[in-house]
A = this chain, B = another copy of it.
Amino acid sequence: MQDEIRIGYNELKSVFYDILCKLGFTNEKAEACATVFANNSLDGVYTHGVNRFPRFVQNVKDGVVIADNEPVKTGGTNALEQWDGQLGPGPLNAMVCTDRAIELAKQNGIACVALANTNHWMRGGAYAWQATKKGFAFICWTNTIANMPAWGAFDSRLGNNPLIMGIPYKDEAIVLDMAISQFSYGAMEKLAMKNKQLEVPGGFNESGEMTKDPQEIIKSNRSLPVGYWKGSGLSLLLDILAAVLSGGKSTSQVTEQKSESALSQVFIAIDLQSLHNFPSINLILNNIITDYHAASPDGSGNAILFPGERVVQTRKQNLVEGIPVNSKVWEQIQSL
């Protein structure tokens, strides 16, 4: 595409870094935050990397995200801690809590840090990659502002509450990063612009019929949870556990605020080294993945990839070729 350019990873990160420093981030925090945005882009999650950066900057300028604030511990015992993110930058809060969960898991085998009053973490998978790189299995999730109706309901009272699970595998990891909505509005907008249909129904049209037409769903604002009634229940439970464990706001309370802030998140780390079968984990993973890949394709052309497999391919390609950035987005970022 003509309006797409390729920017090297280091250049992208350094542009982010300079802007964040100008915004009042300390060097250390600017470095950490720039890395998250650059890594998300490198891994192909542009929606929560380079494309989202201008909005993040605006959130800092508007005081929704408070650059200086850091998470503080508010409660808990041994392997379970509660933290308050004090409306600091979501990615930084999430990184701190991920590291804290890892630290506690080293002592306890498993540990959970629940975080209240944080901001959008951008891409949940980032924290699973962070934890798996250190050798830990990891589960985390966040609640969000309401953006999806429950099964049987007309109006949106559920968040798409992404759920992430990861485990180290060879030099990389197997990382599932799934929002509970079947499609993100970002993905639907992209297809709508190209006049394309979704592969499976993604929501309702304005007459209340299920549809594969992204334009109709954007109009009705009624997207589908994965598995219909099942994802509806899963989204509710993820919200409940995030709000209760952290002592923070629920999707319903976040939605009352009108802006998506003061979110609740959960970070669970598991120390694989404490397992009696630690030496054979790679063997068991290899067996599982070999069997998974050995399935015959169904003829649809959908590749049989494990979660995270495409991420690593994209990461390698983008490291060599540079990260694809829309030239208008790039102009906008450079003017920040």
Q: Collect the chain B residues with CB atoms within 8 Å of residue A155's CB.
A: 295-296
Residues on the B chain within 8 Å of A291, using CB: 157, 250, 252
Contacting pair B234 A178 (CB below 8 A):
yes
Partner of A250, one of B74, B199, B234, B284: B284
A77 near B274 with CB under 8 A, answer yes
Whether A137 and B244, one on each chain, are in contact in the complex, defined by CB atoms closer than 8 angstroms, is yes
Q: Compute how far the CA of A199 lies from the CA of B152 in the bound complex, rounded to whole angstroms.
A: 12
A230 — which chain B residues lie within 8 A by C-beta? Answer: 178, 182, 226
Contact with B along A235-274 (1 / 0, CB 8 A): 0111111011101001111000000000000001011101
Q: Kindly supply a per-residue 1/0 record for chain A positions 283-314, scoring 1 wherever the CB is within 8 Å of any chain B CB and 0 otherwise.
A: 01101100110111111111111110000000
Contact B152 A303 (CB under 8 A): yes
Interface of A, secondary structure class, is: mixed
The answer to whether A253 touches B304 (Cβ under 8 A) is no
Q: Which has the most chain B C-beta neighbours within 10 Å: A108, A182, A294, A305? A: A108
List residues of A (155-191) whose CB comes within 8 Å of B's CBs: 155, 157-158, 163, 165-167, 174, 176, 178, 182
Report the separation of the CA atoms of residues A239 and B289 in the bound assembly, to the nearest whole angstrom.
11
C-alpha gap A244/B174 in the complex (Å) = 13
Bound-state CA distance A178–B235 (Å) is 12
How does the 8 Å CB contact mask read for A16-46 relative to B, with 1 for contact and 0 for none?
0000000000000000000000000000000
Task: Please encode chain A, from 101 to 114, with 1 for each CB lying within 8 Å of some chain B CB and 0 for all others.
Answer: 00000011111100
Interface 9-mer from A55-63, A78-86, A87-95, A319-327: A78-86
Check if B307 sits within 8 Å of A245, measured CB to CB: no
Copies of this protein in the complex = 2
Interface size on A, residues (CB 8 A): 90
Q: How far is the CA of A109 from the CA of B240 in the complex (A)?
A: 18
Counting CB contacts under 8 A, is A2 at the interface? no
Decide if A150 is an interface residue (CB 8 Å cutoff).
Answer: yes
Q: By the criterion CB–CB under 8 Å, are B79 and A237 in contact?
A: no
Residues of B within 8 A of A241 (CB): 137, 165, 167
A25 to B235, alpha carbons, bound, how many Å? 40
- B residues less than 8 Å from A77 (CB atoms): 108-109, 271, 274
Question: Measured between alpha carbons, how far is A134 from B18 in the docked complex, in Å?
Answer: 53
Q: Which residue of B lies closest to A280 (CB)?
A: B247
- Chain B CB count within 10 A is highest, among A153, A167, A240, A306, for A240
Q: Give the distance to chain B from A186, nearest Cβ to Cβ, in Å.
A: 16
A43 → B minimal CB distance (Å): 16
Are A237 and B150 also in contact (CB < 8 A) when A108-B79, A178-B227, A208-B298 are?
A: no
The 6 closest A-B pairs by CB, nearest first: A80-B109, A226-B227, A75-B276, A152-B302, A247-B277, A153-B295
